[in-house]
Amino acid sequence: MNQKHYLETELYEMIQKDSTIFDFLEKNSLDGIWYWDMENPQNEWLSPRFWEVLGYEAEEKKHLVCEWQELIFPEDLEKTIENFNKHYEDPNHPYDQIVRYRHKDGHTVWIRCRGSILRDKNQKPIRMIGVHNDVTVQKYNEEKLLKRTDELKAILDSSLSGIMAFENFYDKNGEIIDFIFTMSNKEACKIAKLSEEQLLGKRLSKIHSGNFKPLDSLGGRTLFDIYKEVVLTGESKSLEFYFEGDGIKDWFRNKAVKFNHGFICTFEVITQEKLFQEKLEKKVKEEVEKQNKQEKILIQQSKMAAMGEMIGAIAHNWRQPLNTVSLLCLALTTKFDNSKLDKNYLNKWIEKINKQVNFMSQTIDDFKNFYKPKEEFKKIFLKEVILKVASLVNFEFKINNIQIKVDIHPSISFICLENQLQQAIINILINAKEAIINRNIKNGIILISAKRKNSSIELLIQDNGGGVENEEILKSMFEPYFTTKLQSHGTGIGLYMTKIIIEQNLGGKIKVKNLNDGLIFKIKLPILVI
């Protein structure tokens, strides 16, 4: 049976007599106790737990100072001696340090060693008591965390966006009145034109004065207002703003996200992007204005072309009634010369003349209405509109042996711009007429039909003009200035304007394809309600 060491026995006795020693031991979480005889400094008792932590059996070791000094790292031994000397001279200086020991299997064990010198009544140091705590896991975790922190810092510093973190700053009533800077990456420091040391611990209001000033680009709100809202609501905010002041004059893109008791935000300088955007918007505006001007020219050209066609048709339509009026007047003159003109005969022929004049007047009215400068949406009956269009071009078509057939139910009606629809249809009819004439087709036929289809009207215009053999030509028919005819025979804008009218002005769709021995135009118009 092993005999107890005298120092162990003495320590137990002192613990029984002096409660402060027990309190000291109790206060600390222990992985070993040591008790040192300063009058015989080679003697030091170390509890079995200390040796267990280092991988040894207590029986393997003697209770001598040299035993543990052989296992401690030399540079850490120097640190303990230095700290001991300070504690020896001044009891208020704590003997407390973390040192490294070599474990029996070779790995490093981190030990926190604390102690206190016991003095006699004359204040002479006679003993020293201490405790050990194994902090190896803690130190490895700290190193791991430090490594990860360094890695995270490296990642953050590689970001092209500025990143900053802030914590809430409260007044005595618990109201958030500011934010304290806690972290940033290199890009954020570059944007702020301040080092991390200059920023650390600073209040947001002190970093740049503009943070608490209303910004026009934020609708009169401050950055502080927005960040406070993020913290209080938990909702992230993305914003763009212009900041001028403290040497900064730039546009920024910013996103703020609530994090713990504060927020994290990212910054990007987008001044060049904004300048490019402004230039692009200006260029687009100029191009739109240019396009609008070109379209106005095209519209005018289209109207002039259609007007030429209609004037020609009207001229043809007028020849017959003018001839008739001329003959009627000659008959009246003959009767008058022969003294055979009576009142009944005169009234009869005047009625016939008025009939012809009324026909010519109606033609003029149709022509005037077609070119009304301003037009409003109104309810139309489709068949009436188609028949009116057919009457305007009837003579020209008739002399070329082209028949227009209309198969539309009289009840089909909807809200539309009548004159614009007329112009679109006339352009298609003229295109069909020219195709029939150019191919010397003896009996030209143009069939116009329509039907309701859900919430739209489907209008079909089909001819027997031979169609288009080349699919590329078919695809290009609605392009401006595209024509397969000689320049003197066409402008190439009729079908282009038809597409503009149908799709932009009337909100519909138009397609064309080959069908049997000709082309078919499919027009889809919405049934509007006013």
3-state secondary structure of 269: strand
Q: Is residue 147 part of a domain?
A: no
Q: Is residue 403 part of a domain?
A: yes
Q: Is residue 264 part of a domain?
A: yes
* Last residue of one domain, picked from the residues 207, 238, 269: 269
pLDDT of 169 strictly over 70: yes
pLDDT of 251 strictly over 90: no
3-state secondary structure of 55: coil
Same domain, 89 and 230: no
Residues 6+ apart with CB under 8 A from 280: none
CATH of residue 91's domain is 3.30.450.20
Same domain, 359 and 507: yes
Q: How confident is the model at residue 486, as a pLDDT?
A: 41
Distances from the Cα of 370 to the Cαs of 33, 228, 303, 306, 426, in angstroms? 112, 64, 10, 10, 11
pLDDT of 483 strictly over 80: no
Residues 6+ apart with CB under 8 A from 516: 464
Q: Is residue 427 part of a domain?
A: yes
Task: Over range 373-396, report the average pLDDT.
Answer: 81
What percent of the chain shows pLDDT beyond 70? 81
Distances from the Cα of 46 to the Cαs of 1, 7, 33, 129, 200, in angstroms? 19, 10, 6, 10, 46
Q: How many domains, in total, are found in the chain?
A: 3
- Nearest-CA neighbor of 477 among 462, 499, 456, 457? 499
Same domain, 261 and 300: no
Task: Pick left, alpha or beta for residue 201 (phi over 0 → left; psi -120 to 50 → alpha; otherwise beta).
Answer: left
Same domain, 193 and 332: no
Q: What tens digit of pLDDT does each residue of 306-365 get?
A: 566 556 555 655 655 665 567 667 777 777 777 777 777 777 777 777 766 765 666 565
As given in the structure block, the two tokens for residue 285 are: 């505006």
Q: Is residue 276 part of a domain?
A: no
Split at pLDDT 50, 70, 90, the class of 527 is confident
Q: What tens digit of pLDDT does each residue of 170-187 get?
A: 888 889 999 988 888 888
Q: Is residue 414 part of a domain?
A: yes
Same domain, 187 and 108: no
Q: How confident is the model at residue 308, as a pLDDT?
A: 62
The boundaries of the domain holding residue 218 are 159-269
Same domain, 238 and 164: yes
Q: How confident is the model at residue 381, as a pLDDT?
A: 93
* Last residue of one domain, picked from the residues 234, 269, 304: 269
Q: Is residue 435 part of a domain?
A: yes
- Nearest-CA neighbor of 81 among 100, 66, 95? 95
Q: What tens digit of pLDDT does each residue of 12-36 get?
A: 888 788 877 766 765 555 788 899 9
As given in the structure block, the two tokens for residue 27 are: 């206060």
CATH of residue 481's domain is 3.30.565.10
Q: Is residue 285 part of a domain?
A: no
**In 120-182, which residue ranges form alpha helices assigned H by DSSP?**
136-158
The total of other beta-carbon atoms located within 10 Å of residue 427's CB is 23
Same domain, 248 and 375: no
pTM above 0.75, yes or no: no
- Four-point Cα dihedral 458, 464, 466, 470, nearest 10: 0
One-letter amino acid at 483 equals T
Same domain, 114 and 209: no
Same domain, 349 and 414: yes
Phi, psi of 267, deg, nearest 5? -130, 140
Task: Over range 377-399, report the average pLDDT.
Answer: 84
Q: In sequence order, what E strands does 399-465 have?
A: 402-407, 413-416, 444-453, 456-463
Most confident of 67-81, 136-150, 308-322: 67-81
Task: Over range 132-142, report the average pLDDT.
Answer: 86
Residues 6+ apart with CB under 8 A from 294: none
Same domain, 118 and 230: no
One-letter amino acid at 393 equals V
pLDDT of 530 strictly over 80: no
Same domain, 83 and 186: no
Same domain, 258 and 296: no
3-state secondary structure of 339: coil
Q: What tens digit of pLDDT does each residue of 398-422 get?
A: 878 999 999 999 999 989 888 889 8
Task: Give the chain's mean pLDDT.
Answer: 82
Q: Return the HEC string of 220-271.
A: CECHHHHHHHHHHHCCCEEEEEEEEECCEEEEEEEEEEEECCEEEEEEEECH
